[in-house]
């Protein structure tokens, strides 16, 4: 049994990535799971001068300590102009200054969704290349394009059985890792 952190790299209160995350965790029966998003996360934009003058913000130190208590991670990241959102990049910048491999060489799944057909796949490709720098062991990726067509927001479930099977398959890889 793995204790899993689902980190949603979005600060939108209406994040479709958060909605998909809430559904995805239902596929992890028997494993303790916590979902964390960045909606209320506050930290200054990372800058070496700020770090030298003020040290690490309490919010970053608390987040770092919190994520250390998990055995595996699922990271949901929206795609903004082909990349991760600025808030998520800022969190990574701060965490990596505390410890370069802040994910502790633990298994990670990267996921994304979008209203468009690519489902954030460009961002996932870039993040999968960066993940080893953060100390994550990539065990799978999943992107859901055309979110509003394939996801029932009222019932919080996938409408598309093929997509549901792909999601379950990648979740099983995390459990097996």
Q: Rounded to the nearest 10 degrees, how much is the dihedral formed by the CA atoms of 115, 119, 122, 124?
A: 130
CA of 7: how far to CAs of 81, 93, 109, 150, in Å?
20, 15, 10, 22
pLDDT 10s digits, 47-97? 999 999 999 999 999 999 999 999 999 999 999 999 999 999 999 999 999
> Does the structure show a pLDDT above 90 at 1?
no
Q: How far apart (Å, rounded) are the C-alpha atoms in residues 125 and 144?
A: 14
CA of 53: how far to CAs of 47, 49, 64, in Å?
10, 6, 20
Domains along the sequence of the chain with CATH: 4-176 (3.40.50.360)
Q: Which pLDDT belongs to residue 111?
A: 98
Residues sharing a CB contact under 8 Å with residue 154, sequence separation 6 or more, in sequence order = none
pLDDT 10s digits, 4-61? 999 999 999 999 999 999 999 998 888 899 999 999 899 999 999 999 999 999 999 9
Query: What strand order describes the sheet that includes 106-113?
Result: 33-37, 4-8, 72-76, 106-113, 136-144
Quick check: 104 and 113 in contact, CB under 8 A? no
Q: How far apart (Å, rounded) are the C-alpha atoms in residues 11 and 38?
A: 5
């Amino acid at each position: 049994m793995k204790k899993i952190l689902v980190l949603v790299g979005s600060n939108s209160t209406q994040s479709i990535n958060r909605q998909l995350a809430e559904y995805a965790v239902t596929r992890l029966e028997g494993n303790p799971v916590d979902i964390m998003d960045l909606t209320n996360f506050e930290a200054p934009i990372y800058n070496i001068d700020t770090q030298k003058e003020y040290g690490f913000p309490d919010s970053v130190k608390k987040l770092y300590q919190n994520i250390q208590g998990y055995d595996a991670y699922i990271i949901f990241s929206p795609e903004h102009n082909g990349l991760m959102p600025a808030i998520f990049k800022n969190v990574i910048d701060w965490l990596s200054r505390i410890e370069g491999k802040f994910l502790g060489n633990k298994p990670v799944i990267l996921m994304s969704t979008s209203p468009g057909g690519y489902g954030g796949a460009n961002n996932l490709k870039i993040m999968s290349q960066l993940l080893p720098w953060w100390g994550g062991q990539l065990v799978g990726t999943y992107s859901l394009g055309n979110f509003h067509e394939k996801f029932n927001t009222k019932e919080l479930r996938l409408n598309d059985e093929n997509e549901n099977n792909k999601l379950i398959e990648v979740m099983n890889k995390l459990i097996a890792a």
